[in-house]
Each structure stands twice: as structure tokens, then as C-alpha cells.
Structure 1
Amino acid sequence: MKLLHYLKYFLFHGIGLASVLALLAGGNWIIAGFVAIVLFYVLGDALLGDDTTTPEFNLPGVLTVQLWLALPLMALITFVSVWSMLGTDPFGFGAWIGAVSGYDVLAARAANTWLHHLFGVLLTGLMIGIIGTVTAHELTHRTWDKVSMLIGRWLLAFSFDTIFSIEHVYGHHRYVATIDDPATAPRGRNVYYHVLASTWKGNVSAWRIEKARLVRVNKGLWSVSNAFLRGHFMSLLLVAAAWALGGWTAALYFTACALWGKSLLEIVNYMEHYGIVRDPSTPVQPRHSWNTNRRVSSWTMFNLTRHSHHHAQGEVPYQDLRPFPDAPMMIGGYLTTIIVALLPPLWHRLMTPKVIAWDRDYASPGERKLAAAASQRSGMPAFIEAAGTLSQ
């Protein structure tokens, strides 16, 4: 049983390798791969229930290596995805795969249509979100570990989001559930607007945080010491690598994948904190984040799902996060909730009662006043009506 607890986190790598196989197989296999992965999460979370165990791990180094392996896996997925839309065969990759496997991947690739390339973007962006951002989230919290920080920032470079290692760790965790946090979506906000607003404000916040750090350590703002600038340069290097493989078409293809991966991060931010408020003078507690303990999401996302404990104690490694079954709960697992968030009418229909219940069951007296004001600002009749009841 102890071995199973280590092996379950390798499901993450299996999903990444499955996406590679789908991209290599080409054609409708790319569509099938994307659909299969989404269904694996949605149906798996629905049918397999919650995982509320917190086992002890005697070999935490194994768990760290599992995280580090995400970088070569992410590089492989991205290379194969870009390769799948080229007219050439860089490094003789396709010929080699065909010789080893007996499957003519070059012929399969030649039959790809614009629809297959579209699903290639969707699949690769999804992998950038899962393999790249989820792992980087864990690694960039380990500010004391230079190797983990370096790997984490390179993983974030695939989604043009290395500023996450600045703003998320030093900004979001400090200001979560307040009006000063770019990643916390106020009640009533549309998810598509949030992607744009959070991206812009997150970059502004990261620039200010990094500028203040450089002043403290007496370093120049426009220098190699600036992690904000270095991070965006890392992303530019990846775009340049795609261009080297296949010109501007390949560079634009990779950019589309990266922007979709970045959008997924902001959608996740949206659903993890939507509508929750906090008195800025009080510490962050488990009730200030939406949580889920769905089994498939937890095992394949390094317990990102246990977000309530993560925000209460951001330095706790993923394997030690507790499930907090009494914390406010999301609609479902992560992919399920992402799909619902992308359908605003359905999202508001399901989440408005949850937010109103949060005001009633979780908010402190001071937070109820903040919640009533936030509900009034939302412009949504259900929230406005609830605000009147809350203030009585």
C-alpha cells in the first residue's frame, strides 16, 4: 500500500505520455486523445469519489524527483506538438520514431488537417496547464531550493507566465480573497474578463514586487538581476526555438498553445477563489479558498486540489496537505469545474448559491459586511437580495 501512494502521483506522467502518443499518431487520434483525457478527469472524479487520506512518506526525495521530471516531459510534449504541424522532419525525429515503432508517423502527420492542428493546440495547452503550471506551482513555493525554483520557472516559461513565481508566492498568498489580489475574482465577474484582467494586473503586481526587491538588495532595475525580465526572456527563447524548428508558423502555433495554457491558469484562479472575501487584517484560513478532494484530480495534480490547506500554510509540501473536508467545496474536480466556469450562465447558476452559503456558514462578522458590499457591487439580483438579508 505504501508503494501505491508513490505510484499514484505517476499518473501525472502517464497523462503527459498519452498526449505525446496521440500527437504522434496524428489525425483523429489527436482529437480522441484530448477527449479521452478530459473524460478521464471528469468521469474519474465523478465515479471514484474523494481521497481524504494523508499518508506518511519516508522517501520525500522520490516525490521531488517526480516533480522535476515534469520539465523533460513538458519539453517532449511541446516538441512533438510543434513537430506535428511541420512540413519537415527536424533531427530525423519522425523517421526514427517510424523505424522504432513500425508506425509511419510521417504519413500520419501529412494527413493532419486544420481541425487536427486546432485540437493539437487544445491538447498541448491543456498539458502546459497540467504538466507545466501545476508542477511549477509546487516547485516555485520552494523558495529555499534553487533547483526546484529553476525547474519551476522554466515550466512556467511554457505559458509565458514566469511572473507567477513572483506574484503568486509574494502577492497572491498575501492578499488572497481581498480586493488587492488580482487572482481573486469578485462575485459576478465573467471568467473571460477575469483571464484578461488577472493577467494584466498580475504582471503589474509582479513588476512592483520585483522592483521593491531589487531596491532592497541594491540591484539595478534594468539588469540581469530582474527576475521579471529574465522570466519573459525565457519564454521568448522558447518561441525562438519553435521558430527555429518551423519558422513563424511554428512560432505562432506554440504561442497559441502557451496562451491557452496561461488562460487555464487564470480560469483555475477564478474557480479557486471566486466570490470569497477576507478581512485584510486577519490571517488566511482554510475557509478562504474553494477546495476539492476528488481522487483523480488530487492524484494527477499533486494535491493542488487541497487548496484550502495550501493557502492556510503555503510552505507545506503537496504530499502533506490535508483534505479539510469541512472547507468550502468546488462544484467538482478541476476539469469539471473548469468546464462549468467556461459556461457563465451555468457557472453563476451553480456558484451563486454556494457563495451565498459561504457568507452564511463561513464568513466572520466582519467578513459578512464585506460580503454584503461585494454582493451589492456584483449587480446580480440574487447576490443583492442576499446582501439585504445578510446585513439584517
Structure 2
Amino acid sequence: MNVLHYLKYFLFHAIGLLAAGFIMAGQGYVTLGLLTVLVIYMVGDAVAGDDTSTPTFKHPGILTFQLWMALPLLTLIVWCALWSFSSTDPLGWGAFVTQITGHDVIAARDGTFWAHQVSTVILTGLMIGMVGTITAHELTHRTWDPVSMLIGRWLLAFSFDTIFSIEHVYGHHRYVSTEEDPATAPRGRNVYFHVVASTLKGNVSAWKIEQKRLARKGQALFGWHNAVLRGHAMSLLLVAGAWAVAGPLPTALLVVCMLWGKALLEIVNYMEHYGMVRNPATPVQPRHSWNTNKRISSWTMFNLTRHSHHHAQGEVPYQDLKPFPDAPMMIGGYLTTIVVAMLPPLWHKLMTPKVLAWDRDYATAEERALAARANAASGIPAMMAANQAQPQLYRAAA
């Protein structure tokens, strides 16, 4: 076997360990760590180009183990952050790290300027989104594997989002790129509005899906069998554990990190399907997702980047996803596109031409009719004008 094909996915774990180390180092090292992660992804994707290889893996168990390792890794990162927010030394962790490294992490933490603590919050939330949600996304699609499902749901508990294992798998994948899908952002929507709207509607959708499942099985809605309630209890257990060990203020800051991790998921949802349209009665095709094959993002995000194939065949393991280089492409790699999405004027400037090109190059006649209505409702002048500027393209709109 080509060992390098297996080792490349360990870059995911290396970045997580790097983040934990910078958090523990304290002071300016935390901000340096945040900047380092941003540079690795944004500059790395720009320089390293695309990875369109499709190697054959003869030992998939290794790749599954790599996914499972995300849970202890994320636990370590979150614990380091919680400790860094504390004014004491919970569980003697600081003394232990000082002893084995020779770096007085307690003194460094106590001398950390508040702005660097903000960097800790941003970096920790980023790791919750990347180490937690990205891995959980892969694991919770493996509905046939109870171990993967359990680990995936615990990873999601770190962002108050265990309902993702329900709504995403049974809702989003069915209704993606339609008006029925909470995670698909319509044309013209602001990303910050989408974070709130998708979160609320996603929870409602998950509750309805679980309600129907329990009814089919003849089980009580309010009871242990309800995966929505059980999942929220998992998140509350994490918060209660943090409170018991570190107290209220560190726990409050940790909750901010967890919410930021959840927001990142919705930002990713926003950029993966923004502006797409589809009749829910028609099959999902690779053209219904924004794709990217940037090398660093692919290797450190378990091929989440190959989103077009994932939505066309959601049951395919990440290592077997194909690059689909002819699919509609994102602005850049994942972190680069996240940053752009968080700057709405820049996002709409760059994405409006891409969305209109999608109408021209990928959409069916029926989808162009849906696109014409979406353009008219978007509030984006260039989109609204496209219906009149290209009447033959959108002629089915009537």
C-alpha cells in the first residue's frame, strides 16, 4: 500500500495538536497559533493547488480509526481551552504540563492579555467546527455502524448540534438545494441571518423527523428513545462537567466557543449550497453542490471538499469520493471561502457571477425557471437584471 495516502489524513490530527499546544503556551502564542492555522489553510490551498487523485485504499479500517481519534483530540483541545479560561489549576493540569515541557504554562496563562484570550475563543471554536463537526459529518452518515454513530454524536455535542445526525442525514440530503431545506441559503441571503435561520429551522426539522420515527416504532415522544432530547442532554452534560471542574466564568467562555463552532457549520452549509435550486422530486446531482479540490482542505478535512460527489451518493466513504473537477466550484478552499462568506459585500460580488454562470452552464430548463424566481426575489441587482438581460435563458420562467 502507498503509506503516504494514509498519512496525509493525519495532517488533520497534526493541526489539532498544534492548536492545543498554542492554547497551552498562552500569551501571544495563542494568536500566533490562530494565524498559523489560517495561513496553513488559506495560503496552503492557494499554493498547493488541487488534488484530483482517487487512490484505492485496501485497509479502510485505518481510515475509520483516524476518524475515531477525533474524539480524544477534540476533548484535549476543549480541555486546554477550558483550563486556559480558568484562574486556578483544574485537576493539576497546568502543573503536569509545566513538568513535562519545562514551560511554565500557569505563569504564561496568568500573564495573557485579554485580546489573546479572544484568539483562544476563536481558535477553539474553529477546532470544534473542524475536528468535531467535519469528522462527525462523516461518522453519522455511517448509520449501520453504532460505534461511529456514537462517536459522531459526541463530537457534535461539543457544538450543541447532535440534531445534525438526524436533520442532515434524513432531511438535508433529501431536500438539498430546494426551498424545503433549512441549510440551503436562497440567493441574496446574508450569512449571519442564515446562521440563525438554519439553526432554528434545522432543529424544527430534526424534531419532526424524530417524531415520525418514534411514531412508527410506537415509542414515546418524550423519553429515552428520543434522539433529539438525548443529544441535547449530551451537550448539557459537557457543560455541567466543565462547570463542576472549572466554575461558571470558564464554562461561559467555553459555551461561546461551542456556539461559534455551531455557527461555523451553518456558514459552511451556506457556502456549500448558496443559490442552488432544484425540484425536490428530481434526483440530487453533482451540480447541486459547490465543490472544491484544494489539496490542503481535502487532506485535512477528510475530503469534505468533494461535496458534489458526497451529495450525489451520501453513503460513499470519504476516501472513495471522486473530485468531479467539472462540478461548480467554490471561490477557493474551505477556510478561504468561509472568510469570504463572512464578508457579505465581498461574498455577493464574487458569488453572483458564479450563481448566474450556474444557471447558464448547469441548470436544466426547469431549474432555470426556479432560478428566475430566485433571482427576482434575491434583492441582488445583477441577479434581478439577469432575467431581463437573458430572456431566452430564463424563458421557462413564465
After TM superposition, the score normalised by the length of structure 1 is 0.99
C-alpha displacement of 1:112 = 1.4
- Counterpart residue identity of residue 69, structure 1: M
1:294-339 Cα deviation digits (max 9, x unpaired): 0000000000000000000000000000000000000000000000
Superposition map of 1:183-222 within 5 A: 183-222=183-222
State yes or no: 1:75 paired with 2:75.
yes
Structure 1, unmatched stretches of 5+, are: none
Which whole-Å CA distance do the structure 2 matches of 1:316 and 1:252 have between them? 38
Aligned to 1:104: 104
Aligned to 1:151: 151
Aligned to 2:286: 286
Superposition map of 1:31-70 within 5 A: 31-70=31-70
Contact 1:371–1:387 (Cα < 8 Å) also in 2: no
- Counterpart residue identity of residue 251, structure 2: A
State yes or no: 1:17 paired with 2:17.
yes
- Counterpart residue identity of residue 223, structure 2: S
Superposition map of 1:1-392 within 5 A: 2-388=2-388, 389=390, 390-392=393-395
C-alpha displacement of 1:264 = 0.4
C-alpha displacement of 1:387 = 2.1
Which whole-Å CA distance do the structure 1 matches of 2:299 and 2:91 have between them? 35
- Counterpart residue identity of residue 245, structure 2: L
- Counterpart residue identity of residue 52, structure 1: T
1:272-291 Cα deviation digits (max 9, x unpaired): 00001011111000000000
C-alpha displacement of 1:113 = 2.4
1:79-116 Cα deviation digits (max 9, x unpaired): 00010111111121111111111111111111012212
Contact 1:139–1:151 (Cα < 8 Å) also in 2: yes
What number of residue pairs does the alignment pair up? 392
Contact 1:133–1:156 (Cα < 8 Å) also in 2: yes
Which whole-Å CA distance do the structure 2 matches of 1:369 and 1:203 have between them? 30
Contact 1:143–1:149 (Cα < 8 Å) also in 2: yes
C-alpha displacement of 1:385 = 1.1
Which whole-Å CA distance do the structure 2 matches of 1:387 and 1:183 have between them? 25
Partner secondary structure for residue 50 of structure 1: coil
- Counterpart residue identity of residue 391, structure 1: Y
Which whole-Å CA distance do the structure 2 matches of 1:344 and 1:281 have between them? 32
After TM superposition, the score normalised by the length of structure 2 is 0.98
Contact 1:368–1:391 (Cα < 8 Å) also in 2: yes
Contact 1:185–1:274 (Cα < 8 Å) also in 2: yes
- Counterpart residue identity of residue 40, structure 2: F
Which whole-Å CA distance do the structure 2 matches of 1:172 and 1:215 have between them? 21
- Counterpart residue identity of residue 275, structure 1: G
Which whole-Å CA distance do the structure 2 matches of 1:222 and 1:269 have between them? 30
Which whole-Å CA distance do the structure 2 matches of 1:367 and 1:103 have between them? 60
Which whole-Å CA distance do the structure 1 matches of 2:65 and 2:394 have between them? 51
Which whole-Å CA distance do the structure 2 matches of 1:51 and 1:303 have between them? 10
Structure 1 window deviating more from structure 2 (159-168 vs 114-123): it is 114-123
Which whole-Å CA distance do the structure 1 matches of 2:387 and 2:335 have between them? 31
Partner secondary structure for residue 240 of structure 2: helix
Contact 1:23–1:29 (Cα < 8 Å) also in 2: yes
Q: Please give the root-mean-square deviation of Cα atoms over the aligned residues, in Å.
A: 0.7
Which whole-Å CA distance do the structure 1 matches of 2:17 and 2:375 have between them? 44
Partner secondary structure for residue 84 of structure 1: helix
Which whole-Å CA distance do the structure 2 matches of 1:166 and 1:10 have between them? 28
- Identity of paired residues, percent? 67
Which whole-Å CA distance do the structure 2 matches of 1:186 and 1:281 have between them? 18
- Counterpart residue identity of residue 125, structure 2: G
Structure 1 window deviating more from structure 2 (278-287 vs 379-388): it is 379-388
Structure 2, unmatched stretches of 5+, are: none
C-alpha displacement of 1:271 = 0.1
Which whole-Å CA distance do the structure 2 matches of 1:116 and 1:329 have between them? 35
- Counterpart residue identity of residue 394, structure 2: S
- Counterpart residue identity of residue 134, structure 1: I
Partner secondary structure for residue 183 of structure 1: coil
